[in-house]
């Protein structure tokens, strides 16, 4: 992609700097940003200066490190506000969360991650908490694998090839698990993942696919393994989730 003449490397690097804060806890220095992104430190210094001037980064008073600024919210809010399916699905998600006592989440893809755009929590002390805007690996999560099951084979092959280059020796086993989840979706509309994203958690997920097939998201329902049996996932929550996704997909892409 970077070899395309229309590709603006400077813009891509600026976005890489902003993305770096997704995987780091707390403010970051130019040196840390350089290590995380692989961008030379002199370039990082120019990028952070520019992003600070634009309001997308702020600088802490104690040590001069950077953190995301309020300007980032102005980029994300229009997306959430105009995402019609999010508003339609929320009521259905809330009802499923209430019935299951679990966390129900809606997500879309961001490169090799899924980013949550909505969530509803059940009324139990053991409910998982997922923040809107949080990211989760597409390869090891139920919601990510459900997404992969919903996209076109050529799109899936491209993502899997990129994942193979990242995961190295772990890839053959991880690839088998992804393919197993895709088969689950093909056979019954949903897939289940135990303890891969987070230990002692069980999650069921299903894809939302627009009528023209061009827009795909995914929805999940999950909680601690001790509070949700595999049988309940397979016989009750999975089918309910699939029904919701089928109904709400009518509003996807509109």
Domain definitions of the chain by residue range: 9-74, 83-251
CATH class name, domain 9-74? mainly alpha
Closest CA to 99 of 248, 234, 228, 246: 228
Predicted pLDDT of residue 3: 59
Amino acid 111: pLDDT: 87
Q: What is the dihedral of CA 161, 146, 123, 227, to 10 degrees?
A: -90
- Residue 103's CB: how many other CB atoms inside 10 A? 24
Residues of the chain with pLDDT under 50: 1
- Give the long-range contacts of residues 233-239, CB within 8 A, separation 24 or more: 233/192, 233/202, 233/204, 234/192, 237/96, 237/100, 237/102, 237/204, 238/188, 238/189, 238/190, 238/192, 238/204, 238/206, 239/188, 239/189, 239/190
- Tokens representing 35 are 């290590």
pLDDT of residue 123: 67
- Confidence at residue 57, expressed as pLDDT on a 0 to 100 scale: 92
Say what the pTM is.
0.78
Contacts of 229 (CB under 8 A, 6+ apart): none
Percent of the chain predicted with pLDDT > 70: 91
DSSP 39: -
CATH class (in words) of the domain with range 83-251? alpha beta
Q: Three-state SS for 64?
A: coil
CA–CA gap between residue 184 and residue 146 (Å, rounded): 9
What are the backbone dihedrals phi and psi of residue 253, each rounded to the nearest 5 degrees, phi first?
85, 0
Sign of CA dihedral 250, 131, 148, 200: negative
- pLDDT of 63 reads 77
* Sequence-distant (≥ 6) Cβ neighbours of residue 121 within 8 angstroms: 97, 103, 127, 128, 129
């Amino acid at each position: 992609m970077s070899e395309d003449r229309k590709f603006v490397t400077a813009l891509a690097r600026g976005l890489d700097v902003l993305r770096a804060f997704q995987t780091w806890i707390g403010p970051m220095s130019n040196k840390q940003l350089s290590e995380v992104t692989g961008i030379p430190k002199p370039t990082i210094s120019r990028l952070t200066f520019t992003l600070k001037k634009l309001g997308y980064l702020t600088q802490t008073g104690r040590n001069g490190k950077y953190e995301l600024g309020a300007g980032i919210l102005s980029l994300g809010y229009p997306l959430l506000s105009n995402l019609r399916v999010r508003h339609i699905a929320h009521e259905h998600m809330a009802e499923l969360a209430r019935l299951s006592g679990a966390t129900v989440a809606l997500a879309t893809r961001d490169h090799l991650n899924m980013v949550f755009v909505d969530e509803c929590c059940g009324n139990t002390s053991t409910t998982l908490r997922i923040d809107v805007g949080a990211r989760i690996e597409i390869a090891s999560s139920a919601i990510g694998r459900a997404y992969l099951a919903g996209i076109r084979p050529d799109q899936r092959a491209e993502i899997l090839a990129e994942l193979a280059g990242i995961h190295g020796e772990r890839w053959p086993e991880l690839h088998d698990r992804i393919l197993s989840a895709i088969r689950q979706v093909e056979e019954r509309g949903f897939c289940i993942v135990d303890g891969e994203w987070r230990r002692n958690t069980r999650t069921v997920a299903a894809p939302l696919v627009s009528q023209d097939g061009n827009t795909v998201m995914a929805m999940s329902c999950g909680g601690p393994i001790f509070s949700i049996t595999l049988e309940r996932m397979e016989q009750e929550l999975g089918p309910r989730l699939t029904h919701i996704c089928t109904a709400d997909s009518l509003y996807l892409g509109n």
